[in-house]
Structures are given as C-alpha cells and as structure tokens.
Structure 1
Amino acid sequence: MTEKVKKTQKERVSEKYGAMVSYYAELLGLCHKAVAKNDVLSKLDPMGQKTSATTLFIRSCARMDKSDDATSAAQKLMNIGDEAASQKIA
C-alpha cells in the first residue's frame, strides 16, 4: 500500500504563489530602475527614491487590477449577449 506524502506548507505556498511573487518582485525592480533613470527622481534622497518606486508599483498594480476588472465585465456582457442570442434562436 502506498501512502500519499503530504507536501510541506512551504512547498504548497511556493507552488501556489511562487510565480506571482516573482512577477511582482520583477515589477518592483522595474519601478526602481525607472526611478534611477529619471532625471528628477534619481536626484532624490534614498528614501524619496524608495517612496517613488513604491508609488509607481502601487499605481501599476492598481492599473492592472482595473484592466482585469474591465476584461471581466466585458466577458460577462459577451456571455449575456450569447445567451440572449441563443434564446431567440430556440
């Protein structure tokens, strides 16, 4: 008889969220690079640069969330339209 070995919590969390965390870490890194390349923001003190990068990160994430919401709403409307069209045919 073979027993199923339960994965550790660390393994389960890594499998579930590892790719997402890596994605957001990469995005945060891009925000820091953008601040460093900007003529005005790069002249700020380190705390100001960090704050600017964090603000860019938060705004980027909010924009992505808004885009996801719009895509979801559009898909729902398409589904409603498809259902209405199929009911008229039947």
Structure 2
Amino acid sequence: MKFTYPAVIGKEENGSWKAVLPDLACCEAEAETLEEVIEKANAALYDWIELELSEDEVNLPPISDPRDLEQHLKEGQQVRQICVNIRLFDGWDE
C-alpha cells in the first residue's frame, strides 16, 4: 500500500537540512544535503507507518493538504510529498 504525507523541508542555521512531517508526531529527519534529508524523511515515514500498522488499533492521522502548509512556510522552506510503499501481506506484490 502506498502512503503519502507532506514534509516541510528547510535549511537550518548551521547549514544542515531538516524535514518535519507535521501530520505525524515526532516524525522528523536531519541531514547535510537536500537529497539526504529527503531520503531520511522517507525512511522516517516508513518506520512511523510500519510501527502504527503493527499496533492493535491502527490510527493513521489525516493527511494535510500541501497548499495549506505552504501558507505557513518560513523563508527558504518548501513542502515536498514523501511517499512509501509498505507490504501489508506477505506475497502482496507477487
């Protein structure tokens, strides 16, 4: 199954990049380059969703519209869609 959540990405004062997925509590990533922070945000989203799906009661939060997030961006920030595919069942993609 494909999951897509928006991330707010921007450069920090120290020169590193940070991605925050505002719909998912404590789901963030930091890296030295934009490409690396997107990769790490992808991994963070995957881990967050996989953990939630392992719980007895799955409670995935609603997905924000990226246009709503764009209205609140600080200078230099951007919104990127982060997507992951997670197998829900063994053999699902065969």
> How would you bin the TM-score normalised by the shorter chain?
0.3 to 0.5
Q: Which has the higher contact order (CA 8 A, sep 6+)?
A: 2
Higher strand share: 2
Task: Look at both structures and tell me which one has the larger radius of gyration over its CA atoms.
Answer: 1
Q: TM-score, normalised by structure 1?
A: 0.35
